[in-house]
Structure 1
Amino acid sequence: MNQRFLLLKGQIIGGRYLIQQVIGSGGMSHVYLADDLKLPGKQWAVKQCFSFPQQFTNIEDEAELLTTLSHPRLPRIVDFFPPDVKGNAYLVMDYIQGVTLEKYLSSRSGKVKIDFIIRLAEQVLDVLEYLHQHDPPIVFRDLKPSNIMLTSQLELRLIDFGIARNYKQERSEDTVKLGTVGFAAPEQYGSGQSDARSDLYGFGALLLYLVTGGIASEWSDRVESVIRRDCPNEIIPILRKCLQQSPEDRFQSASEISRTLMNYQQTPSNSPQAIGTGHVGTRVITVMGVSSGAGATHTAICIAHYLARTSSKVAIVEMNMEASAFTRIQQIVEGEDGLVIQHERRFSVEGVDYYRQTEREYLIELLGGSYNFVIMDLGSYHENDTLEEFLRADIPILVGWGSEWRMQDMSECISGLTRYPQNKWVYCLPLAPSDAVQRLRKLINSNKVYSVPLHLDPFDRCEEMDKLMNQLFKGIIPDMVKRRRFRFGL
Structure 2
Amino acid sequence: MLGKKSPAVNTRSPRITGICGAGRSVGTTHLAVWSANYLASCCQKKTAVVEWSSHSDFVHLCLDDKNGQTARAFRLLEVDYYPQGEKEALASCIRSGYEEILIDFGPVRQEIRAEWFRCQIRILTASLSEWKLEAFLEFLAEEEELGKGWSCMAAFGSKAIRYEIEKQFRIPIEKIPFSEDVFQVDKTAMAWFGKRFP
Q: Normalized against structure 1, the TM-score is what?
A: 0.36
For the Cα contact (< 8 Å) 2:18–2:103, is it kept in 1?
Answer: yes
Per-residue deviation, residues 343-392 of structure 1 (Å, max 9, x unmatched): 4x1111111111111141342232233111100000111111x2111111
Consecutive unaligned residues in structure 2, runs of 5 or more: 1-10
For the Cα contact (< 8 Å) 1:402–1:451, is it kept in 2?
Answer: no
What is the aligned partner in structure 2 of residue 290 from structure 1? 22
What is the aligned partner in structure 1 of residue 126 from structure 2? 400
Per-residue deviation, residues 201-246 of structure 1 (Å, max 9, x unmatched): xxxxxxxxxxxxxxxxxxxxxxxxxxxxxxxxxxxxxxxxxxxxxx
Matched to 1:446, the amino acid is: I
Out of 295, 310, 313, the residue aligned to residue 46 of structure 2 is 313
Consecutive unaligned residues in structure 1, runs of 5 or more: 1-278, 477-490
Per-residue deviation, residues 119-169 of structure 1 (Å, max 9, x unmatched): xxxxxxxxxxxxxxxxxxxxxxxxxxxxxxxxxxxxxxxxxxxxxxxxxxx
1:346 to 2:73 alignment: yes
Match of 1:302, SS? Answer: helix
1:281 to 2:8 alignment: no
Cα RMSD of the aligned pairs, angstroms, is 2.4
Per-residue deviation, residues 277-311 of structure 1 (Å, max 9, x unmatched): xx932010001011111121111111111111210
CA distance in 2, matches of 1:308, 1:435: 35
What is the aligned partner in structure 2 of residue 441 from structure 1? 166
For the Cα contact (< 8 Å) 1:330–1:340, is it kept in 2?
Answer: no
What is the aligned partner in structure 1 of residue 104 from structure 2? 377
User: Structure 1 residue 394: deviation in Å?
Assistant: 0.3
Equivalent runs, 1:43-442 vs 2, <5 Å: 280-309=12-41, 310-320=43-53, 322-331=54-63, 336=65, 339-341=68-70, 343=71, 345-384=72-111, 386-418=112-144, 420-442=145-167
Structure showing greater relative contact order (alpha-carbon pairs closer than 8 Å, 6 or more residues apart): 2
- % identity of equivalent residues: 24
For the Cα contact (< 8 Å) 1:305–1:459, is it kept in 2?
Answer: yes
Q: 1:293 to 1:466 in 2, by over 3 A?
A: same
Larger CA Rg, structure 1 vs 2: 1
What is the aligned partner in structure 2 of residue 460 from structure 1? 184
CA distance in 2, matches of 1:470, 1:437: 23
Aligned residues: 188
Q: 1:422 to 1:407 in 2, by over 3 A?
A: farther
Q: Normalized against structure 2, the TM-score is what?
A: 0.83
